[in-house]
Structure 1
């Protein structure tokens, strides 16, 4: 299939997603939530909006223009073990493999097969030539290369089984934010989106904030009251009640606004319903703290003049096609196998 046809198929998919009717989305999202209670109508709708953003023609064309796709002389069979922590999280790997000219054998997450299967069907309807390049499989034995996404523990398992093949293996990552105190009320509220979207389950969700002053923790909690409806979700609420009880029983200092707990902690990854925070003295101190954790940070959310290459407040969950998981260029890997 000509390369331009492959690219255009994904651009056209984005256009079709943008034209989905409310009725179509309602039925699809209901099935997704029945499979995975974390995948609410709001979460699924945001994921689809994120794909529309990613597949916009100018972003796609800018992305693919950075690579030499002619170097792929032979199509390989790439096994992809997909995550399922947020809706359609495996889509970018699917797109990258197909654009590189390879075939994909995808093991879908049991938590996210409804949306991914639906997206695959849509893509094949747009470009039937993809049908022979996509296989959904439970077993991924004997592939030419592998991409696997999982936890730090499962990555060791992946290394053991896939390490002898060309492979791209991802571990746990999370995102952090920097709040200096000169942010506007709108920026603080936008940061709330980066914390609460997808219930904090994504690698681009902010699980820790670095604050210039202890008092800013109270400012955050006060400005995030508009997100209180998140506690209506039974799984989130159960996590909140559990973590709150643990902190109270253990006598661990924390702040609580009724649906989010903030706790001073040096580690990065916080439990659901908990946001860790740490105080920094100055930008040099902050740089040392972030450098220590750099291999575990997906993105840094801050004002543009606060940190180089920072993601704007409220934009963490709207990545472009070149915003790779773990910061590792998936396309470069696929073009090299």
Structure 2
């Protein structure tokens, strides 16, 4: 199967997902194989929500909307235009997926198949309802994908390379276990925002999306703020207010109550507004319902610090701090196809194995 056929198949998958990109699912007559797959996918969404309390409809739909927007002919062609696939020898690439947000491993899945390899997927138990169904749809759209997509719950075997995502602890296991295979091993990362005191109300509202989307569970969620000395958080809290209904979600509320109790019993200084706490802390990974903050003296020293800690950071949200690297406020959960996790070019890796 040539590259254009692979691209066309994923474009059709994007069209299928577009029907589920708003809270009101809308069946589009021109989408291929809808009679076979539309109602079944609605059922899979329901199963995903029942299986994982963090996967509410709003977050699932948000993920679908992002992927339906990404999987266009223009986007896919632009992404792949700089690579040469002509000499690729198809291999089997294993993917060990995380399960923190809906379809979190889809970019790896897409990268392996679009490059011409076969994929062997080991999913997280927290997110195993959606992708197999989409894979089946893909096989109907492009029958030549049949035999190139396998899912397993067993020990991985018969593969040539691996892409694995997990915690820092599991990454050490992955590095040892897969030491004789070409690999991309991803560890814990978090995203940060650099504030100056000149942010607008719109900036803070956009930042709230970076903080609260997916309940803050993703590596692209902002979990840490860097602020100048004597920073006034009033504008920040006003911008967060649009997300106040999040406290009505039981799992989030339980985490908020627990972490608040821990902070109070430990007599930690913190500020809170009834659904979000901020606490001064040098760590990058903050608990659910909490954002850490740290003061900086000047841009130069902060640049040095972030360079030193780059292996802990996924995104830097800012306005004019690092013009060629920063992500605009509100855009962390809307990466382009060429915005690779950990800045590791997945396609370049797949072309070398």
TM-score by length of 1: 0.96
* TM-aligned CA deviation for residue 27 of structure 1: 3.8
Structure 2 counterpart of 1:204: 220
Partner of 1:126: 141
Match of 2:188 in 1: 172
Contact 2:195 2:227 in 1 (8 A): yes
The Cα shift of 1:71 comes to 2.3
Cα distance between partner residues in 1 of 2:196 and 2:346? 34
Give distance in 2, aligned partners of 1:218 and 1:264. Answer: 16
For residue 261 of structure 1, the aligned residue among 267, 277, 282 is 277
1:178–1:300: 8 Å Cα contact kept in structure 2?
yes
Distance 2:209 2:5 in 1: 36
Contact 2:252 2:288 in 1 (8 A): yes
CA distance in 1, matches of 2:314, 2:66: 17
Q: Gaps spanning 5+ residues in structure 1: where?
A: none
1:100 partnered with 2:100: no
Which residue of the partner structure matches residue 300 of structure 2? Answer: 284
Q: Is the 8 A contact 2:193 2:316 kept in 1?
A: yes
* Runs of 5+ consecutive residues of structure 2 not aligned to the other structure: 27-38
**Helix, strand or coil at the partner of 1:307:** coil
Cα distance in 2 between the residues matched to 1:9 and 1:191: 35
> What's 1:90 paired with?
105
Aligned twin of 2:25: 22
Q: Is residue 202–residue 239 contact of structure 2 (8 Å, CA) maintained in 1?
A: no
1:152-171 deviation digits (Å, cap 9, x = unpaired): 00001111111111111111
Alignment-derived partner of residue 3 in structure 1 = 3
Cα deviation digits, residues 108-143 of structure 1 (max 9, x gap): 111111111122122112112112100001231231
- TM-score computed with the length of structure 2 as normaliser: 0.92
Moved more, 135-144 or 150-159: 135-144
**Paired residue for 1:80, among 78, 89, 95?**
95
What does residue range 147-186 of structure 1 map to in structure 2 within 5 Å?
147-186=163-202
CA deviation map 1:43-70 (0-9, x unaligned): 1000001111221222211110011111
Give the 3-state SS of the residue equivalent to 2:214 in structure 1. Answer: helix
Q: How many matched pairs?
A: 335
Residues 209, 289 of structure 1: CA spacing in aligned structure 2 closer, same or farther, 3 A cutoff? same
Find the aligned partners of 2:292 and 2:79 in 1 and give their Cα distance: 34
C-alpha distance in 2 between matches for 1:57 and 1:187: 31
| Contact preservation (8 Å) 1:236, 1:273 | yes
Query: Aligned-pair distance for 1:26?
Result: 5.2
Distance 2:329 2:229 in 1: 19
Say which SS state the counterpart of residue 322 (structure 1) adopts. Answer: coil
Query: What is the CA distance between 1:213 and its match in structure 2?
Result: 4.1
Q: 2:70 maps to which residue? A: 54
Rounded Cα–Cα distance in structure 1 between residues aligned with 2:327 and 2:338:
14
Q: Which of 131, 148, 153 is equivalent to 1:116?
A: 131
Asked if structure 2 preserves the Cα contact closer than 8 Å seen for 1:217 and 1:262, the reply is: no
